[in-house]
Amino acid sequence: MCIQDKHITSRNHLGRERIKKLLSLQDPEEIDTLCRKAFEVKKQNTGNKVYLRGLLELSNICRKNCYYCGICRTNIHLNRYTLNEKEVLDTALFAYENNFGSLVMQSGERFDKVFIQFVDSLLQKIHKKTNNSLGITLSLGEQSEETYKRWFESGAERYLLRIETSNEQLYYKLHPRDKTHSFSDRIAALKNLRKTGYQTGTGIMIGLPFQTIENLADDLLFMRDLDIHMVGMGPYVEHAETPLFKYRSLIPSKEERFYLSLKMISTLRLLMPDINIASTTALETLSPNGRLIALQAGANVFMPNLTPAQYCEDYFLYDGKPGIHTDVMSYLKDFDKKLKENGQEIGWGEKGNSRRAERV
């Protein structure tokens, strides 16, 4: 297929068929044109700043058993941990003092009262220590509407809950078919988050066994139809201690998954020009400069991992997950230089709200 610029400029023309075509591009030059276009659209709509979110992996205890995930309940080959209050507050202070602008707290899915209360008190203490100036995103899975409200009132502004796939059949190939893994509950949770007032994010995995280009096109349309404010999506990376590993012969090569992820990010940028799109960690597992490349292809959010290094090995979602930088600040200064070569830069000290959320 010959892809001319006019074919990819107008998002009004991005229907399912055109999206499928963009996701199916194979010619490197055509993929490059798509990425460049997405980069332009990003700069026009969200500016040239790349927003930082310091990532804190709060706990790897999980009540769920998602077939792809390294911290699923049945994996006994890791130590389960929960950070203590001091570790969290020290990290939040580090993010504040080093002008990150915002923090993401992520963990396995836990519904126990102790955890809900712990998060609540952390939110209040973080805000107190950082003069209410740090944007806080939670990524703590499905919770009751009451819990979402409680955390929102304690100062969490954003919430990321990946749908993982918007196709119900595929969803149940990736999750047990039971009460704790209900597809409709997950969608309801996303709607509750929006209703509560969060800047709401979702995302999916790309290159899963059994996943088709149609599924991926529908995932993008799902995000558009939900009018989501932010997206974190990345390639599926197999993990030897998970049930899905046995289907690894069905997944595309590393290179294909990487380019498919880039095409997804670029196409999403054309479809939803003013949302925040994260350049996710899993991209780096498939390509050494994966996250930088995605920031040149439509993504505008970067999430350096700030989890205390001794826990890094236990938050092992997939094989080859990158470790923690021992000197994250010099890494970021260097990263900023590389961004500048490309006409963008880190938005130091900025919360980096989703423009989409500010507009509605």
Options 317, 328, 332, 339; binder of ligand 5AD; rule CB under 6 A = 317
How many other C-beta atoms are found inside a 10 Å radius of the C-beta of residue 154?
Answer: 17
Among 122, 116, 117, CA closest to 104: 122
346 forms part of the interface with ligand 5AD (CB under 6 A): no
Q: Using CB under 6 A, which of the segments 219-227, 233-241, 255-263, 322-330 binds ligand 5AD?
A: 233-241
Torsion of CA 90, 92, 95, 96, to 10 degrees: -100
Structure tokens at 343: 């006409």
Amino acid at 9: T
Q: Using CB under 6 A, which of the segments 234-242, 299-307, 322-330, 339-347 binds ligand 5AD?
A: 234-242
118 forms part of the interface with ligand 5AD (CB under 6 A): no
**Nearest-5° Cα angle at 316, 306 to 198:** 55
Q: Which is nearer to ligand 5AD, 14 or 286 (CB)?
A: 286
Rounded to whole angstroms, the Cα distance separating 87 from 230 reads 27
Q: Using CB under 6 A, which of the segments 118-126, 180-188, 236-244, 246-254 binds ligand 5AD?
A: 236-244
> DSSP for 131-150?
TT-SEEEEE-----HHHHHH
237 forms part of the interface with ligand 5AD (CB under 6 A): yes
Annotate each residue in 253-282 with x if it binds ligand 5AD (CB under 6 A) or - if it does not, as one string: -----------------------------x
Options 52, 205, 223, 292; binder of ligand 5AD; rule CB under 6 A = 205
Rounded to whole angstroms, the Cα distance separating 176 from 197 reads 30
Size of the site for ligand 5AD (CB under 6 A): 11
Backbone angles phi, psi at 140, to 5 degrees: -120, 25
164 forms part of the interface with ligand 5AD (CB under 6 A): yes
Among 70, 71, 72, CA closest to 176: 72
236 forms part of the interface with ligand 5AD (CB under 6 A): yes
How many other C-beta atoms are found inside a 10 Å radius of the C-beta of residue 101?
Answer: 23
Q: Which is nearer to ligand 5AD, 109 or 274 (CB)?
A: 109
Q: Which is nearer to ligand 5AD, 272 or 317 (CB)?
A: 317
Q: Which residues bind ligand 5AD (CB under 6 A)?
A: 68-69, 162, 164, 205, 236-237, 239, 282, 317-318
